[in-house]
Amino acid sequence: MEANEPKPFTAEDEAEVRESLKRCSPETVEAAIAYRKSGDTSQVPVIIMGILERVMEPEARPKLLEGNDDTRINEDLGIDSLTMVEVIMMVEETLDITVDNEELRGLATIGDVKTFITGKLA
């Protein structure tokens, strides 16, 4: 199997993804399943945005939806470092990757997170 070829995606894997993303939007869940089946990294932004939306306070979600890749995670969205760790843990579980805490230090915007995770998967 090639290094970037996706691993076989079983019904059990799909059930795990659905369980870990159960409070995310259906679009997020379907994007995660599509990524895991095909390795299509164009799904990553949908997954990242869905996970961020899930962990945010409901009153802050409009800022996420109105924002763009320059939206700052802490300053604009109010996501603290502990919540960011939760986000990364969900991303790791969903995308079947590992991220070191040291790698998170430079991630300040939504675009930083999308670019970092997409690059990690490449």
Residues assigned a catalytic role: 80
Give residue-wise pLDDT tens across range 31-85: 999 999 999 999 999 999 999 999 998 998 999 989 999 999 999 999 998 999 8
Q: Please give the model's pTM, rounded to 2 decimal places.
A: 0.88
Give pLDDT, residue 81: 86
Q: Is 19 helix (H, G, I), strand (E, B) or coil?
A: helix
Q: How high is the pLDDT of residue 5?
A: 57
Give the architecture-level CATH label for domain 11-121: Orthogonal Bundle (1.10)
Q: Using 50, 70 and 90 to split pLDDT, how confident is the model at 117?
A: very high
